[in-house]
Chain A
């Protein structure tokens, strides 16, 4: 039970306080989800019960947030359009490249945005993730201290990515990152939302991270959103993402997950206007005792929309992945086409994968397929490579690299190199 007094807020807007209050009420009245039902079948909800928030204490003592040196360099070199560094959801520093600034792109803390862009924020914040969602989303709705706001105005195209670095506080703390992205009509942008830092010891003092991301893509907009989870090995990460795209808008969502101890993420796109198209290309790489639980949703509420999900999982050591993917096509959403594929590559005994690709189709005028596979590397492929004199370990690395290559191809260039290097390093450990 959380009391109002624990809610630290300097909200100057009553509408915001109201929303927080609603979320708090909802959090208090909702019981912890029962283990075994629906989306909580594979993960213990107790992992995400927040410890008392000590992140604030850190920030107030003026400790410098860990540097985002590489990213700052990228910005300086013109490889990024803008950079925001958020430490424990308390200190948000923003640096804008000249192009982004001149074109009127806004990247700021949510608290600043509430004052500078009140109509937009009030209209869209809590519109997709709110107290109606579930206990943990209500927790975020009440507790987020400061978040990030990104706004790309109508007709503006920004080629270089906007990089958001969300650094968790150290061991034993909890934070509630919140993000609101609004892409104006006919605008185009790429956002990299990176979560890192946090505890390295899940036994002694795990860090809890409970994040919410809302993205609105207005008519004809084109958005690419990369969610990069690289948190420390002692972090329990919970993330709910919802995007809504309007008429003829497109969205490419790339959830990448490598870090954390227990991670539960929920990515959803609502196709809310004719001609909208959404693609999701997910990749997760689990090692040691990591546990990943991912849910994806493509909800077609408007007709003549198309969607495609390709979710790849690679597991080694004793890692465990559960994936549930739902495609829902409403009764009135005619002439839609939706595809979904989940492939799970298990590199050694001791790994465990679950996959539940679900469909709810409420009208006949659809074309919908989904597929899922689970298995080790095809022994034939390995044999073929060994015949060419390639050692087993190298062969495995080559095949896994090939497996993830198409997903990487969708990433912005710098990030692609960085992630590639990261995955290669992990494969070295095979």
Chain B
């Protein structure tokens, strides 16, 4: 099982914002919603757009290219044209630091 990797501090990502990282050769995006922080793959499953260029809508992340949406908690598709769920990654906060396991 791979380990948790520190990627940023909580103040690096203001609420409502997205930020992209590369962890162990995997491109991920961390979203800061009203409910907290979530980590998903930085690639829309519809047409491979780097989804960190999109935006947060409630508890969903929306891709800027064709409007596909995914639930940040489960990765499930909430709006077409995507049909495949997006990969989610475990994220934990320790103090002011964000850790992600990929």
Contact = CB atoms under 8 A, between A and B. Distances in A.
Q: Which of A36, A41, A289, A318 lies at the interface centre, i.e. has the most chain B CB atoms within 10 A of its CB?
A: A36
Interface in A312-370: 318
Nearest to B24: A289
A318 B25 contact: yes
B25 A36 contact: no
A318 B27 CA distance: 14
A289 B25 CA distance: 7
A113 to B, nearest CB: 41
A35 B50 contact: yes
Contacts of B25: 289, 318
B49 interface: yes
A318 B49 CA distance: 20
- Chain B contact-residue range equals under 10
Interface string B41-81: 00000011110000000000000010000000000000000
Contacts, number: 9
A41 B65 CA distance: 14
Q: Which of B25, B47, B48, B50 lies at the interface centre, i.e. has the most chain A CB atoms within 10 A of its CB?
A: B25
Q: Provide the main secondary structure of the chain A interface.
A: loop
A266 B65 CA distance: 28
A66 to B, nearest CB: 28
B81 to A, nearest CB: 15
A289 B50 CA distance: 19
A331 B84 CA distance: 43
Interface in B13-31: 25
A293 to B, nearest CB: 13
Interface in A26-47: 35-36, 41
A41 B25 CA distance: 18
A247 B40 CA distance: 55
Nearest to A288: B25
B98 to A, nearest CB: 19
Nearest to A289: B25
Interface in A282-334: 289, 318
Contacts of A35: 50
A200 to B, nearest CB: 15
Nearest to A291: B25
Q: Which 8 A-B residue pairings sit nearest by Cβ, starting from the closest? A: A289-B25, A36-B49, A35-B50, A318-B25, A36-B48, A41-B48, A36-B65, A36-B50
6 contacts: A36-B47, A36-B49, A36-B50, A36-B65, A289-B25, A318-B25
Given A36-B48, A36-B50, A289-B25, 6 more contacts: A35-B50, A36-B47, A36-B49, A36-B65, A41-B48, A318-B25
